[in-house]
């Protein structure tokens, strides 16, 4: 018997309220203490600053290689809160614009890693047999090398640039996502709704991508949030070694590299980009752990 329209309308607000209640509970878990609240707020401010950076930097000329001889290596002041560098450029403006560079580059790296890893992982779990074995052995080969070493080797062959560093890290990072998606997909493919779809004649390709992959995104998002900080740190490392961003790009690792010569005479030059890296990596780690508790309620309260 069809359900009366009035009953549907009566149930709709109830479903909305239940969803809102669930969202409030998730937000409470994500911000259950002051440290997690501070990390969430800091990342939110980073995202806003990254989007608005071209419009809010106090000294737009400092983003380029323009030299201001009268303001070379000035200490922090009201006009230059983070001081200036060896070219007289405002370090606060460059650190602020560096948010845009670091966040955008890290999102691209994670996107490449998830795209490759999720595709190979779900194919391996769905196909099984020889295809699964080949994909997993290729994954093991990549995992045999530390990410830093593999990325350095790749960028050394291609040449140092931010684009090459992003591609190299994306290629080096995907095996973890492939293993995670494969493991999650192997458990999902045996669940009743997947068996029902298979019994109804749904194509294997649709089952893999519409049912299995879609329901494997939770753990993947948690890993991605944890990896954001690590990727930012790795990009800064490559830039510090001269294999990532190149001058005059306002990238934090590159700024630290350029400040080495002036470490004793201009402490602010290295301190503020280093503090930006430290706080960003720490905040993403804290938020990633909180997001893991939100998406995995069974793991709450451990430890």
User: What is the residue-level pLDDT of the chain in tens, covering all 303 positions?
Assistant: 454 554 555 555 776 777 677 677 767 766 777 888 889 899 999 999 999 999 999 999 989 878 888 889 999 999 999 999 999 999 999 999 999 999 999 999 999 999 999 889 888 887 778 988 999 999 999 999 889 999 999 999 998 899 999 999 999 999 999 999 888 888 777 777 777 777 777 776 777 767 677 777 778 888 888 899 999 999 999 999 999 999 999 999 999 999 999 988 899 999 999 999 999 999 998 888 887 777 665 544 433
Query: Residues with Cβ < 8 Å from 96, sequence gap 6 or more?
Result: 49, 53, 56, 57
Q: How far apart are CA 205 and CA 123, in angstroms?
A: 9
Q: How far apart are CA 119 and CA 112, in angstroms?
A: 11
CATH of 31-299, one of 3.30.160.100, 3.40.50.920, 1.10.3720.10, 3.40.50.720: 1.10.3720.10
Per-residue pLDDT at 57:
93
Please report, in angstroms and rounded to a whole number, the separation of the first and last CA atoms in the chain.
Answer: 51
Per-residue pLDDT at 166:
95
Domain ranges of the chain: 31-299
């Amino acid at each position: 018997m069809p359900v009366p329209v009035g009953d549907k309308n009566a149930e709709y607000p109830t479903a909305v309220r239940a969803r809102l209640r669930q969202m409030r509970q998730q937000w409470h878990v994500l911000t259950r203490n002051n440290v997690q609240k501070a990390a969430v707020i800091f990342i939110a401010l980073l995202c806003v600053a990254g989007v608005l950076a071209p419009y809010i930097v106090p000294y737009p000329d400092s983003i380029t290689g323009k030299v201001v001889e009268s303001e070379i290596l000035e200490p922090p002041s009201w006009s230059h809160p983070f001081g200036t560098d060896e070219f007289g450029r405002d370090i606060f403006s460059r650190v602020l614009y560096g948010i845009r560079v670091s966040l955008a580059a890290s999102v691209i790296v994670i996107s490449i890693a998830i795209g490759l890893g999720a595709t190979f992982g779900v194919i391996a779990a769905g196909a099984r047999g020889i295809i699964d074995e080949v994909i997993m052995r290729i994954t093991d080969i990549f995992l045999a090398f530390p990410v830093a070493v593999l990325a350095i080797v790749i960028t050394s062959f291609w040449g140092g640039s931010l684009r090459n560093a992003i591609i190299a890290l994306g290629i080096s990072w995907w095996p973890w996502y492939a293993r995670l998606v494969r493991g999650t997909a192997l458990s999902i493919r045996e669940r009743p709704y997947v068996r029902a779809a298979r019994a109804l004649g749904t194509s294997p390709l649709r089952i893999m991508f519409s049912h299995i992959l879609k329901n494997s995104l939770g753990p993947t998002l948690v890993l991605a949030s944890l990896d954001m900080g690590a990727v930012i740190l790795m990009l800064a490392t490559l830039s510090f070694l001269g294999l990532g961003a190149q001058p005059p790009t306002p990238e934090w690792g590159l700024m630290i590299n350029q400040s080495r010569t002036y470490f004793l005479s201009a402490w602010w030059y290295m301190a503020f980009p280093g503090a930006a890296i430290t706080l960003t990596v720490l905040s993403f780690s804290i938020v990633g752990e909180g997001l893991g508790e939100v998406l995995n309620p069974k793991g709450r309260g451990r430890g």
